[in-house]
């Protein structure tokens, strides 16, 4: 009972009081990968992440050793690390997240498992044009959040003191990682309902390099917005699939028509070029 009360009070405080929460390094012994370290965020509003072989195997279906893979909206790196293990030390995994609170944890994860991964983290949002944006959250501990060009409370009442930077991904990669672009095989987007906007901003990369693209169909999207997401991912030569979880054993359902986007409330999908 005491532990329950303590945890409840900690969550209430995290929703109302802005403060730093340190990382905690956990170890996972996996069948194929051996020991994997992961920095979990001790923010009481964020459940601890467990790294599993099944999740890594999910990414291995699309990513091979030496690939360039990109994680947009990494949070603390809970998808970045499994992606990076699939790409290996000889590959390059680039993670983007503008939230400075989670970015500090992401940087810790980028420094772990160096013999098995190669992660480079950047504190930027991916946007249609390079600019600066306001960042707001519904929680004082900034466990979630989103960006806006104008300072309004759409994403919550708690605002970062400083603006965050938005960059155009294709320009950034051509400037900073030009020798890796021909290895681009996988892009994952998770951006609090802004997935379609981000995907439109990177359409040139998708059309040229034809990576596997993962996005989320958010609960609050209207039918028109869901159709727009379908059209954005379903570029010529791409087939879309809804998948139930980031595990190699999770059920997969083909999305053959944009009306299929209305069948489920919130779901993940991937587009793969034939």
Tens-digit pLDDT profile for residues 120-140: 999 999 999 999 999 999 999
Asked if 230 and 222 touch (Cβ cutoff 8 Å), the reply is no
What pLDDT score does 30 carry?
A: 98
Mean pLDDT throughout 214-234?
95
What pLDDT score does 11 carry?
A: 87
Tens-digit pLDDT profile for residues 73-119: 999 999 999 999 999 999 999 999 999 999 999 999 999 999 999 99
SS (H, E, C) the chain: CHHHHHHHHHHHHHHHCCCCCCEEEEEEEECCCEEEEEEEECCCCCCCCCCCHHHHHHHHCCCCCCCEEEEECCCCCCCHHHHHHHHCCCCEEEEECCCHHHHHHHHHHHCCCCCCCCEEEECCEECCCCEEEEEEECCCCCCCCEEECCCCHHHCCEECCCCEEEECHHHHHHHHCHHHHHHEEEEEECCCCCHHHHHHHCHHHHHHHCCEEEEEECCCCCHHHHHHHHHHHCCCCEEEEEECCCCCCCCEEEECCHHHHHCCCCEEEEEEEC
Tens-digit pLDDT profile for residues 146-185: 888 888 777 788 999 899 999 999 999 999 999 999 999 9
In order of their start, the domains of the chain are 2-214 (3.40.50)
Mean pLDDT throughout 19-29?
96
pTM of the model: 0.94
What pLDDT score does 145 carry?
A: 86
What pLDDT score does 33 carry?
A: 98
Tens-digit pLDDT profile for residues 244-273: 999 999 999 999 999 999 999 999 999 999
| pLDDT > 80? residue 69 | yes
| pLDDT > 80? residue 55 | yes
């Amino acid at each position: 009972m005491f532990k329950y009360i303590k945890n409840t009070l900690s969550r209430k405080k995290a929703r109302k009081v802005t403060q730093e929460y340190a990382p905690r390094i956990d170890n996972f012994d996996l069948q194929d990968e051996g020991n994997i370290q992961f920095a979990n965020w001790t923010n009481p509003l964020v459940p601890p992440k467990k790294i599993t072989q099944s999740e890594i195997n999910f990414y291995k279906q699309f990513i091979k050793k030496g690939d360039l893979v990109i994680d947009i909206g990494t949070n603390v790196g809970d998808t970045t690390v499994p992606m990076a293990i699939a790409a290996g030390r000889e590959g390059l995994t680039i993670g983007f997240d503008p939230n400075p609170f989670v970015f500090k944890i992401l940087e810790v994860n980028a420094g772990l498992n160096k013999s098995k991964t190669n992660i480079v983290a950047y504190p930027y949002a991916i946007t249609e044009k390079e600019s600066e944006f306001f960042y707001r959250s519904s929680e004082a501990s900034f466990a979630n959040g989103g960006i806006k060009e104008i300072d309004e409370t759409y994403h919550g009442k708690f605002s970062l003191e400083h603006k965050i930077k938005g960059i155009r991904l294709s320009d950034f990669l051509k400037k900073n990682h030009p020798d890796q672009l021909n290895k681009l095989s996988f892009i994952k987007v998770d951006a609090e309902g802004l997935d379609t906007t981000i995907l439109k901003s990177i359409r040139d990369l998708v059309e040229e390099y034809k990576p596997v693209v993962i996005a989320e169909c958010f609960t609050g999207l209207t039918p028109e917005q869901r159709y727009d997401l379908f059209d954005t991912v379903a570029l010529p030569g791409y087939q879309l699939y809804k998948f139930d979880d980031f595990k190699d054993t999770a059920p997969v359902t083909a999305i053959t028509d944009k009306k299929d986007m209305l069948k489920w409330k919130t779901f993940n999908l991937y587009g793969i070029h034939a």
